[in-house]
A and B are shown apart, each in its own frame.
Chain A
Amino acid sequence: MDAEFSFKSKLNIKEYADGYRIFDLKRGRSAGREWKSTVFFMISMATLFFLLMSGMNIGRMPVCAAVFLISAYMCTHYVYILPRKAKLRGEHIYKSSKMLSKEYVFDVYPDYFIMRNKNESIKRYYSDVSDCIETKNIIVIIGGFEKRFIVISKRNIEKNELEKISRYFKNRMVKQYRRIKDPGSKE
């Protein structure tokens, strides 16, 4: 069976790092950071309230003070530190890989697509995809057992071709598809 259409993609370090950050926020270690940071924020506020009621007498309520500090740190960790770490980690992964910087050809079929070059070939069914997230510069396809996420660079694709690819993925992965402004802006 012939592919419906094909296109090429070659990632640079920034594109991969942005894609990794999106994956991490959605399905990786940073997943669920909104509710986790909210829980720790509420705990820190509650313990701060008790401390204020006791006149900030830490000697009388040392556990409360310790819980406040830990909760405040964990809230900051989920809101600020984890997303920054994720992008940095993406950059390190890109630098450690001999494969990620190579050009891939994407052959798109009605039920799946194949991503291939001379060293690697991956077949991904749309039904195995949990998320398809498009930003201004990349498309991140999350899901599958091998290679948990795939990042497609839009940099070298013609505008009319890009619209065709977006429209096709949006139609094939209706529930999974989302467009966001930039990495991590809306998770």
Chain B
Amino acid sequence: MDINIEAAFLITEEDFVSMQIARMKIITEKENRVILKIIGIIAAFCGIIAFLYIRGNLYQLISWLLLIAVGLYCLFYYDLINPVITKKQATDRYRFNRREIGSKIFRLDSVNFSFEDEDHKINMPVENIYRLTETSDTLFIFYDMDEFGFIPKRVLDDKQISDMRKFFEEKGKYRNEA
């Protein structure tokens, strides 16, 4: 499939925060999320049953309430608590690194891929790309398991996003995390 996309854009604070939240979801293994939710449900359930039916002395009542609190924390950690923490850290990081976060130029064709800004230029064959991961508002181009460049979806039109999706699907290097 032939493809030819070029985009120049500035990364805003919203782009960076969305990217970091999406990245946290990508790098967190699904099994860990599921296991923590199961632990949370079990802990909260046991705590509620014990508080309502077993009760006991004041110390034990407090223990059951703590158990419920820990259960709820585990249950909602990845969906509610972690995004809030990540957003705060991402905002701080963006403001600290504002000088480095300038405009970027992204180019992709059937053979080569490049990502440029003032301090970092990468230009390599498309075959060397590890994977394209798509989330609800960001496209991640992974150079390896860890390093990546990202493009906010707002800078591309629907056809360009669709072309990128098909291009990397054909190469077996596409993942949807939306």
Contact = CB atoms under 8 A, between A and B. Distances in A.
A120 B144 contact: no
Given A97-B144, A122-B119, A128 B100 contact: yes
A92 B130 CA distance: 12
A179 B123 CA distance: 34
Given A63-B63, A146-B100, A124 B146 contact: no
B162 interface: no
A122 B120 contact: yes
Nearest to B128: A98
A145 interface: yes
Contact of B97 (A100, A124, A145): A145
B3 interface: no
A72 to B, nearest CB: 16
Contact of B123 (A89, A120, A123, A147): A120
Contact of B130 (A97, A119, A122): A97
Contacts of A128: 97, 100
Interface of B: 63-64, 66-67, 97, 100-101, 117-124, 128, 130, 143-147
Interface of A: 61, 63-64, 89, 92-94, 96-100, 119-124, 128, 144-147
28 contacts: A63-B63, A63-B64, A63-B66, A63-B67, A64-B63, A89-B145, A93-B146, A94-B144, A96-B144, A97-B143, A97-B147, A98-B144, A99-B124, A99-B128, A99-B143, A119-B122, A119-B124, A120-B123, A120-B124, A123-B119, A128-B100, A144-B100, A145-B97, A145-B100, A145-B101, A146-B100, A146-B117, A147-B147
